[in-house]
Amino acid sequence: MNAPQPSNTVAAEGGRTNREYATFFVDGLFFGIDVLQVQEVLRYQEMTGVPLAPAVIEGLINLRGQIVTAIDMRRRLKLRARAEGETPMNAVVRTKEGAAVSLLVDEIGDVVEVDLETFEPAPDNVNPAARDLLQGVYKLKDRLLLVLDTEKTIDIAASAA
């Protein structure tokens, strides 16, 4: 498998006119990650909390013997906390270095194919916590698809959460 391209230089990609994104919902917002970066999606997993860790880190899960850090996307995007009793789902992404990180999201959506033409940088009025993590927005027919920059999303240390 070739290395996925998380870059936002979509226009520079000659040849391809569309792209596939794995989508999910967080607090009603519709997000997408380049499908090549998503290793797998899982329903809620048993989790072990990590005391003293940044708040956005929900815990550690056992993914077939591999220890995977789970990041709560609600907290990461500074959105409202999940309601009591709602269990998040795991979107496991693979980083450049080959490590796996799980993003905890409300619900997993379909894989959608988007037309590169409909891409636009994130508008300025998007909540700044989220905008920093976005590559841009695709204007789909009925809604907006917010494209996450995976590397930035999982870079907790840099964001000093």
Partner 1 sequence: MDDQEVIREFLIESNENLARLDQEMVELEKRPKDPQLLASIFRTIHTIKGTCGFLGFASLEAVTHLSENILSQLRDGKREITPELVTLILETVDVVKTIMVGIEANGREGPEAYDELRERLKAASVAASADATGGAPGADAHATSSEADAPAAPKGPSVSDSTIRVDVVLLDKLMNLVGELVLARNQILQFNAHQEDSTLNATSQRLNLITTELQEGVMKTRMQPIGVVWNKLPRVVRDLATSFGKQIRLEMDGADTELDKTIIEAIKDPLTHIVRNCCDHGVEKPEVRIRNGKPAQGTLTLRAFHEGGQVNIEIADDGAGIDVQILKSKAVQLGLIRMEQAERMTDREASALVFLPGFSTAAKVTSVSGRGVGMDVVKTNIEKIGGVVDLVSRLGEGTTLKLKIPLTLAIIPGLVVTLRERRSAPRESEGGGVRYVIPQVSLLELIRLEGDTGKRQIERIHDTPFYRRRGSLLPLVYLADVLKVGRTDDSGVVNIVVLQAEDRQFGLVVDGISDTQEIVVKPLGKQLKSLNCYAGATIMGDGRVALILDVSGIAQLSGVARESRDKAGAEMQRRDHADSERQTFLLFRAGSFERLAVPLSLVARLEEISLSKIEHAGGKRVVQYRGRILQLASLAQLLEPDAVDNAAVQDPAQVVVFNNAERSIGIMVDQILDIVEDHVSIRQTAARQGLLGSAVIGKKVTDLLDLHAVIHAADDGWFASQEAQRASGATVMVAEPSPFVRGLVRTSLEMAGYRVIETDSTHGALQELERHKIDVVLAGLDLPPDNGCGLMQAMRRLPGVAQIPALALIDNAEQAKTCREHPQGFSDYQTKFDRDAMLQSLARLASALGAPEALVPAGGRG
Regarding 81 and contact with partner 1 (CB under 8 A), the answer is: no
What span, in angstroms and rounded, lies between the C-alpha atoms of 151 and 103? Answer: 12
Alpha carbons 107 and 97: distance in angstroms, whole number: 27
- Nearest 5°: the CA angle 26, 30, 31 is 85
3 binds partner 1 (CB under 8 A): no
Q: Does 15 bind partner 1 (CB under 8 A)?
A: no
Using the rule CB under 8 A, which residue among 10, 42, 47, 140 binds partner 1? 47
Minimum distance, C-beta of residue 66 to partner 1, in the bound complex (Å): 8
* Gap between the Cα atoms of 157 and 16, Å rounded: 34
Please tell me whether residue 55 binds partner 1 under the rule CB under 8 A. no
Considering only 3, 67, 111, 116, the residue that binds partner 1 (CB under 8 A) is 67
Q: How far is the CB of 108 from partner 1 (least distance, A)?
A: 21
Do β-strands 144-148 and 29-34 pair in parallel, antiparallel, or remain unpaired? parallel
From residue 96 to residue 115, what is the string marking binding to partner 1 with x (rule CB under 8 A)? -x-x-x--------------
- Classify strands 119-120 and 134-139 as parallel, antiparallel or unpaired: antiparallel
Dihedral sign of CA atoms 10, 13, 17, 20 in order: negative
10 binds partner 1 (CB under 8 A): no
Binding flag, residue 40, partner 1 (CB under 8 A): no
Q: Is 144 helix (H, G, I), strand (E, B) or coil?
A: strand
Q: 51, 128, 141, 142: which one contacts partner 1 (CB under 8 A)?
A: 51
Query: Nearest Cα to 161, choosing from 52, 48, 45, 13?
Result: 52
Tell me if 42 contacts partner 1 by CB under 8 A.
no
State the residues that interact with partner 1 by CB under 8 A.
Answer: 46-54, 57, 59-62, 65-69, 71, 97, 99, 101, 154, 156-157
